[in-house]
Amino acid sequence: MKTQYYAASSLDGFIASPEHSLDWLLQFGDVEGTSYPEFIREVGALVMGSNTYEWILRHESRPDSTGATPWPYEQPAWVFSSRSLPAVPGADIRFVSGDVRPVHREMVAAAGGKNIWIVGGGELAGQFYDHGLLDELIIQVTSVTLGSGAPLLPRMIASPPLRLLSATIYGEAFAELRYAVPQPLSRGAGMRC
């Protein structure tokens, strides 16, 4: 079981534009030509921030429209938010706030030995890293730059550095980089929950 941050990033390190748009990413089409189908089969629970959740509601699920589609995930999902957000009928979504450590313990129990996916955003992934709960980064780097926006992972991770596990090319636009995340030197293995 691993806690993984799987995300797409612009070449200059942003996961969304300043307006929280993903148009720069969606121009590349379907995820079927990437590692996503294999990746999602190994996910037992997922977590996201409120901006990611609201983006999914607006662009994927659209529960308040005539073109509503089902929630895109079968796995239980935790959404970190400091405000009240609408639920999706029939979906296993749990709204939480505060410390990521007790939520991580709940997710591990619910995942049944499968992986935990940090869907987004970067600050939420950073909070898991801060507590020694992030095991792997899987980043699909795209062939665009945004100049500014929501950062991929707003943390300094330099000592020890990330360990590159693989680099894979998908089409003409994506390079997937997989990194093992070492424990920060100031934290021991006892930080894991």
For residue range 57-110, what is the model confidence (pLDDT) as tens digits?
988 776 665 666 788 999 999 999 999 999 988 899 999 999 999 999 999 999
Q: What is the pLDDT of residues 111-165, one digit of tens each?
A: 999 999 999 999 999 999 999 999 999 999 999 999 999 999 999 999 899 999 9
The fold for domain 16-31+46-113 equals: Dihydrofolate Reductase, subunit A (3.40.430)
The pTM score is: 0.90
Read off φ and ψ for residue 79, nearest 5 degrees: -120, 120
CA distance 74 to 62: 17
Half-sphere exposure of 153 (CA within 13 A, CB side): 26
Q: What is the pLDDT of residues 133-144, one digit of tens each?
A: 999 999 999 999
